[in-house]
């Protein structure tokens, strides 16, 4: 799976990319591996390039966020249409979704005119063969397309809208793809051992535990070492996964203590 985030606000450092990490965490927990995250600005050519490059790597899923709204700088669908050499046109199902949203808002007295102005109609202009995904909390529908075996899933950038469509329409796809495979992780925090001393201990533990991936995350400078050691594995069987994690965690903890390191705390989490 690849993630493409679209929005100048990410490239000027105005907005922290919480969408990417939310999606990455969610996909990982469902057993879907994220291979790359790309961030591009609100430019048709940049969006088209990023989508073309991602499609060339033939991932099973590409999820994009951002650029689906009614303003001039919402250019995601235009960029994707360009990448795929498909035309953009009104999708009747999408137009109905947008119309119903504005009618509901008007019924609740939140809107005077339900008129489908060009900025509103814009949200229903999809590339040919695309299907809209209903947006439970906002106006712009998500979009799904199949491109030579890659499911291209296009979501808005407002976090509440992205998350709602993701939960409703993408989680079931991911579950079907990964079967019951899930991601399991555990962390141990160690003090008084430097990362450079830890390195061969991690090597040995990974060698002895071939299904476990271990990564050290230094939380302070080498001089006052405080390091998180993160263990992870994927498995269809939660018990197998927890046993594997436990075994590797114990082995590495013992090696660390032999070298004078202190184990500070353990945290285990299964998704």
Please report whether residue 195 would count as binding a second copy according to CB under 8 A. yes
Q: Judged by CB under 8 A, how many residues of this single chain contact a second copy? A: 77
Does 160 interact with a second copy (rule: CB under 8 A)?
yes
d(CA 123, CA 97): 10
Q: Which of residues 9 and 86 has its CB atom nearest to a second copy in the complex? A: 9
Q: Per CB under 8 A, does 22 bind a second copy?
A: yes
Which CB, 9 or 131, lies closer to a second copy? 9
Query: Of 29-48, which residues contact a second copy (CB under 8 A)?
Result: 33-42, 46
What's the token pair of residue 182? 């899930």
Count Cβ atoms below 10 Å from residue 187 Cβ, excluding itself.
17
Binding mask 123-152 for a second copy (x = CB under 8 A): x-------------xxx-------------
* Paired strand residues for 232: 185, 213
65 near 153, Cβ under 8 Å? no
16 touches a second copy by CB under 8 A: yes
Subset of 224-263 contacting a second copy (CB under 8 A): 224, 230, 232
Strands 150-155 and 61-65: parallel
* Count of other CB atoms within 10 angstroms of residue 125: 18
Cα 127 from Cα 253, distance rounded (Å): 54
Residues 46-105 that bind a second copy (CB under 8 A): 46, 50, 53, 69-73, 101, 105
């Amino acid at each position: 799976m690849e993630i493409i985030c679209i929005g100048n606000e990410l490239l000027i450092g105005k907005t922290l990319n919480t969408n990417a990490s939310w999606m990455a965490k969610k996909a990982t927990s469902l057993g879907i591996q994220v291979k790359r995250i790309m961030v591009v600005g609100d430019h048709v050519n940049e969006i088209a390039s990023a989508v073309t490059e991602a499609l060339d790597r033939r991932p099973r899923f590409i999820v994009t966020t951002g650029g689906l709204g009614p303003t001039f700088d919402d250019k995601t669908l235009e960029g994707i249409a360009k990448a795929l050499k498909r035309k953009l046109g009104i999708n009747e199902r999408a137009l109905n979704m947008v119309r119903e949203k504005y009618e509901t808002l008007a019924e609740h007295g939140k809107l005077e005119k339900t008129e489908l102005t060009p900025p509103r109609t814009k949200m229903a202009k999809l590339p040919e063969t695309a299907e809209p995904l209903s947006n439970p909390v906002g106006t712009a529908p998500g979009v799904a397309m199949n491109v030579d075996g890659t499911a291209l899933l296009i979501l808005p950038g407002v976090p509440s809208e992205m998350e709602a469509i993701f939960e409703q329409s993408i989680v079931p796809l991911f579950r079907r793809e990964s079967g019951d495979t899930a991601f399991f992780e555990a962390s141990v925090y160690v003090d008084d051992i430097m990362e450079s001393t830890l390195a061969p201990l991690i090597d040995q533990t990974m060698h002895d535990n071939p299904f476990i991936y271990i990564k050290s995350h230094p939380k302070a400078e080498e001089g006052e070492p405080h390091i998180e050691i993160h263990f992870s594995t994927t498995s269809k069987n939660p018990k197998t996964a927890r046993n594997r994690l436990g075994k590797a965690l114990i082995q590495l903890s013992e090696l660390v203590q032999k070298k004078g390191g202190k184990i500070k705390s353990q945290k285990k989490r299964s998704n």
